[in-house]
Structure 1
C-alpha cells in the first residue's frame, strides 16, 4: 500500500502497560497482559464509536501507538474513551490473577504526522511519548492506586478539553514534563477504581528540577506533611473550584472561629493554604484536613476519590483516622439550599441611656449554631441604624461568594422593642440607601426570653408543635370580643396557639397593675411568633396577615411571605401596611448563649 506523502492531522493515543516487565511477571503473564490490553482497547474504542481496526497502529511490546482515522471528532477521545477503558479494564482485571492484571498510562495528543514506510513520525507523535513518560505522572499514578492515568498534551487540553465543561476539565491537573529534549506542561487525570490488588513497579522519583512550582509554605500543619505529598496535593487542587466555598471554609474552621475574608481564595489550593494558618480544634483535626474531607465528599468523581486517597495516607501518618471517622459521622452534610442568619443584639447601657451596646453573631455555616461572637461595640442610640449598616456591609464582604438567602434579625430588650428596624436601610454611604426589608428576611427576637431559661421548655414545645402543624388558624388575634372575658395568659395557655397578633404595639415597659401584659404573656407561654403594627386598622391588618399566611405551609413560610409582601406582591395592600408590619420570629433551635457580660471592644 502506498504511503501518504503529505502530513495528516490525526488524533494520537499512546498506551503503556505499567510494570510490564515486573519481576513477578513471567512470560505467560506478559503474553496474557498483551492480549488483555488489546481486548480492552478494542472494546473501549468500539463503545466510543471508533472502529479500532480502522485506526493506524504500531505495537510497542508493552504498549501501542494508535492514530484515529482522519476526521474522527477529537472530543470523542476525551469524552467517551476514559470511562469505556475504565469499564473494560475493570471487567478484565476482575477475572485475572494479580500478575495478569493491567494498569495503563494513556497519553492524548493531536497534530500532523507522516508515515515514512517504517512507521509514523512527527513532532506530535514525539510529544505523545514524552508526556507519557513524565516522572510526575508516573509518581502520582503509582501513589494513587488507580487503574488508568490519562495524560493530555497542553495543546490537546487547550483545544479540546478545556473549552468544553462536559469533558470535565477540572479533573485534569497541570504537571511539569522534562523528558529528554522535551520540556513543557501536560495535564493529568487519574481514573478508574481498582477491583483487586494490581502489581505495581517502583518508579524512580523525579529529579528536584521536575518539582512543580510549589510556593514557599510555612505553618505548623504543613511542617507535618512531607513536601512530596504537598506537591502532589498542589497538583490536584490548583484550579479546582470549591462548591459552597464560604460554607465549607466555615465548617472546616468550626463555630468558634469567625470566617476570614476570602478575597484571595480562587481555587481549592488557596483555600487549603489559608486554612493551614489555623490550629486544630479539640478533636485534633487541623481545619485544612477537615476542608479536604468536605471537598472530597462534595466534589465526588475522580477528583473526590483522589483527595480521599490523599487524606487516607495522611490520616495514617498523623493518626487521625478515628477522629476523622467520628467527624464524618457526627457533622451534618452541607445543605443544597442553605440559609444564613445575621443576629444583631442591641441593649441600652445602664449608666448612660443615650448609649447602647451592639453585638452581632454571623452564621457562616447554615447547619452550625451558635456562631462565634463577631464583635461588641458601644455606640450612641442616635447612630444605631448607621452602625448596623456597618455590620451588614462587613458581613456581606464575607458572604460575597455565596449564592444563598439570608436573614437579619434584631435581638432586642423590651425597652428597645419599638425601634423601627423594619424601616432601616443599608449602604447609607452611597447616598442611595436601600431598605433592609428588600434584601433580607427581617425580624426581631426577644432578649428577655433568650436569657430566661425557665421559659425555654414551653418555647420549644410550641415551636415543635408549629413545625408539625403550621396551619394559619393557630394565630390568635388579641382584642376580639369573643375573648374579652378571659385574661390573655389563660387564652395563650391553650397549646393550639403558636402565634399572637397584638391589639396595639407593646410599650417599652410592661404595664403596671394586675392585668397580664400581652407581649410578656406570649413570650412566657412559649409562642414563637408575635406580630403587631404601629397604626394599622384591625381589619386591614387581618387581611394582610391572611394573605401572608395563605401559603399551604402556613407559618413555615411566614418570613418569606412577609418579605414578598414588601415587594408589592400582596397587591391590594398599601406598601406602608406591609412595610411597617413587625414580626417577632423566635426560633428556640437558634439560641444565643448570653451567660457572660458582653464587653465592648475599645479602639
Structure 2
C-alpha cells in the first residue's frame, strides 16, 4: 500500500509498560504482559468510543505507538481514556499474579506525522516518546501507589486539557523534561489506585464484593470521594426512589447536555452511577454531586437530612462549597405541574428544492430553557412527516418516565408556513397512525421572527401585555369594515392587539406592491398569536374562535382549548373545522438558540 507523502495531523498516544524487563519477570510473564497490555488498550479504547482497529499502531516490544483516526476529538481522549484504562487495568490485574500485573506510562500529544515507509515520524512523535521517558515522571510513578502515569505534552495540555475544567487540569503537575536533544515542559497526572489481590477472610466477603463493585465507577469520582464514603453512599442510595427522576437527572446535567436513556435506572444509586460518566461543568461541580444535592433538597425527613449533611461535609473537602451554595440559590424549584416542549425546525435547502433540513430541540427539564440542539438531519421534503414521526418517537423514549403534558411546535420559514402539520400523525410503523393533535398541544412558530432580533423587543412587549390582559377582544380580524382604508401595519401598531386572524392562509412569499403583507405586519408588530384556516368561511371561523377564547383566561388558555377542540368532544363544530385551525403561538420567552452549527447527517 502506498504511504502518504503529506504530513497528517493526528492525536498521538504512546504506551510503555513500567518495569517490563524486571528480573522477577520470566519470558512467559513478559508474553502475558504484552498480551494483557493490548487487551487493556482495546477495551479502554472501545469504551472511549474509539475503534482500536481503526487506529494506526506500531508495536515497540514493551509498549506501543498509537495514532488515533483523523478527526477524533482530542478532548474525548483526555476525558475518557484515563478512566477507562484505569478500570480495564484494575479488572485485568485483579486476576493476575504480581509478576504479570501491569502498570503503564502513557504520553499524549498531537501534531503532524509522516510515514516514510518504515514507520511514522515527525517532531510530534519524537516529543511523545521523549516526555514518556522523563526522569521525574518515572521517579514519581515508581514512588506512587498508582497504576498509570499520564504525561501530556505542553501543547496538548494548553490546547485541550487546560481549556476544559471538566478534564481536571488541576490534577496535572508541570514537570521539566530533558531527554536526549529534547528540553521542555510536560504535565504529569498519576492515576488509578493500585490494588493487589489477596485472600480475604470470609468475614470480609461483603466488603470485598463492594470493593469490586466500586472499581467499576468512573475514576474521576473515585479520586474526588474516598472509597469508604462511596461504599456508605452505595448502601444508602440503593433502593432509594428518586422523585421525578428524568427532571432530576436533566437538572444535574444542565441544559447543554441531552438527557441520556434512563432504561435500567431503578434507584438513586443507579442514577448517581450513570452521572459519574459526565464531567463537571464550568462551576466545577460534577453532575453526580449536583444530583445528590438535588436529592437531598427533595427528600423529606431523615434521608434528606443525612444526604444534606453528607453533601456539606464533602463540599468543604472538595472546595466546592461556595459553588454548591450559589447553584442551590439560583436554580429554579422542580415544578409540581411541569410541561415539556419539543421544537422541530424544518428549512428547505436552497441548492436542492426536493430536500430540507430537520433540526430539533427537546426540553427534558421543564424549568430549563433553551434546550440543547438534539440533532440535525437532511431529508427529502416528501418524507418530512415520517421523519418527524421518528423524532417524536425518539423523544417519547427519553420522556417515558415523565408524567407531564407536552407540546410539539414546528419552527417554519415562510416558504413552508402552510405545511399541514395539524393533519400529521405519529407511529406510522404500526399501520395505525394516530394524529399528533390528540397527544400534544400543536403549534407553529415563525423562523423569520426567531432570527430577526430587531423584532424581538416589540414581541416581548406584546407578549407581556397579553399575559397581563388576555381578554378575547384583543384579537383583530383582518378584513373588518371598521378598518378598511387603513394599512394593516398601521392598525396593528395599536398596542391593544395581541392576536390576528387572517382571512386566508398566508402566501409563501410576502406579496409585492404597496399593500403591506398581513403576516409580516403581525410579526413586525410583535403579535404573538396569528390564526388562520385553510378553507373556513370568515363567519364560521369567528364562531369557532369565540368558542376557543370563551374561557375566562382568554388567550392564556388558547393552546389548551384548541387541543380540546381537536378531540371533537363537546365541541359544537364540525371536526374538520376544529382540526384544521392553524395556530401560530409564538412565546418570546422560549427562543431557540439558532447560531449553533447545523451539520446534518443524510438520511
Whether TM-score is above 0.5 comes out as yes
CA distance in 2, matches of 1:209, 1:243: 33
CA distance in 2, matches of 1:317, 1:208: 29
RMSD (Å) for aligned C-alpha atoms: 1.4
Q: Report what 2:552 is aligned to.
A: 552
Q: Report what 2:384 is aligned to.
A: 384
Q: Report what 1:447 is aligned to.
A: 447
Question: CA contact under 8 A between 2:441 and 2:563: conserved in structure 1?
Answer: yes
CA distance in 1, matches of 2:257, 2:505: 38
Q: Report what 1:432 is aligned to.
A: 432
Question: CA contact under 8 A between 1:472 and 1:555: conserved in structure 2?
Answer: yes
Match status 1:217 vs 2:194: no
Match status 1:518 vs 2:518: yes
What does residue range 224-303 of structure 1 map to in structure 2 within 5 Å? 224-303=224-303
CA distance in 2, matches of 1:274, 1:597: 28
C-alpha deviation, 1:213, in angstroms: 5.0
Question: CA contact under 8 A between 1:278 and 1:286: conserved in structure 2?
Answer: yes
CA distance in 2, matches of 1:325, 1:383: 49
CA distance in 1, matches of 2:397, 2:425: 17
Question: CA contact under 8 A between 1:547 and 1:570: conserved in structure 2?
Answer: no
Question: CA contact under 8 A between 1:436 and 1:442: conserved in structure 2?
Answer: yes
CA distance in 1, matches of 2:204, 2:543: 76
CA distance in 2, matches of 1:377, 1:527: 31
Question: CA contact under 8 A between 2:379 and 2:602: conserved in structure 1?
Answer: no
C-alpha deviation, 1:226, in angstroms: 1.0
What does residue range 108-147 of structure 1 map to in structure 2 within 5 Å? none
Return closer, same or farther for 1:209/1:466 CA change in 2, 3 Å cut-off: same
Match status 1:482 vs 2:478: no
Q: Report what 2:498 is aligned to.
A: 498
Q: Report what 2:588 is aligned to.
A: 588
Question: CA contact under 8 A between 1:212 and 1:231: conserved in structure 2?
Answer: no
Q: Report what 1:540 is aligned to.
A: 540
* Aligned partner of residue 584 in structure 2, secondary structure: strand
What does residue range 406-421 of structure 1 map to in structure 2 within 5 Å? 406-421=406-421
Number of aligned residue pairs: give it.
Answer: 398
Stretches of structure 1 that go unaligned for 5 or more consecutive residues are 1-205
Match status 1:336 vs 2:324: no
CA distance in 2, matches of 1:511, 1:244: 49
Q: Report what 1:96 is aligned to.
A: none
What does residue range 12-411 of structure 1 map to in structure 2 within 5 Å? 208-211=204-207, 213-214=209-210, 215=213, 216-219=215-218, 220-411=220-411
Q: Report what 1:117 is aligned to.
A: none
- When normalised by structure 1's length, the TM-score is 0.65
- When normalised by structure 2's length, the TM-score is 0.65
CA distance in 2, matches of 1:413, 1:539: 29
CA distance in 2, matches of 1:596, 1:280: 22
CA distance in 1, matches of 2:274, 2:594: 31
CA distance in 2, matches of 1:455, 1:597: 23
Question: Deviation per CA, 1:385-437, whole angstroms, max 9, x where unpaired?
Answer: 00000000000000000000000000000000000000000000000000000
C-alpha deviation, 1:570, in angstroms: 4.5
CA distance in 1, matches of 2:596, 2:257: 18
CA distance in 1, matches of 2:492, 2:485: 14
* Aligned partner of residue 211 in structure 1, secondary structure: helix
Question: Deviation per CA, 1:277-319, whole angstroms, max 9, x where unpaired?
Answer: 0000000000001111111111121111111111112111111
Q: Which structure: larger Rg?
A: 1
C-alpha deviation, 1:209, in angstroms: 3.8
CA distance in 2, matches of 1:298, 1:484: 58
CA distance in 1, matches of 2:443, 2:327: 34
Question: Deviation per CA, 1:139-178, whole angstroms, max 9, x where unpaired?
Answer: xxxxxxxxxxxxxxxxxxxxxxxxxxxxxxxxxxxxxxxx
C-alpha deviation, 1:599, in angstroms: 1.6
C-alpha deviation, 1:223, in angstroms: 2.7
Question: Deviation per CA, 1:555-598, whole angstroms, max 9, x where unpaired?
Answer: 11110110000111352100101100000000001111212441
CA distance in 2, matches of 1:326, 1:471: 40
CA distance in 2, matches of 1:242, 1:365: 15
CA distance in 2, matches of 1:511, 1:408: 29
Question: CA contact under 8 A between 1:295 and 1:304: conserved in structure 2?
Answer: yes
C-alpha deviation, 1:218, in angstroms: 2.7
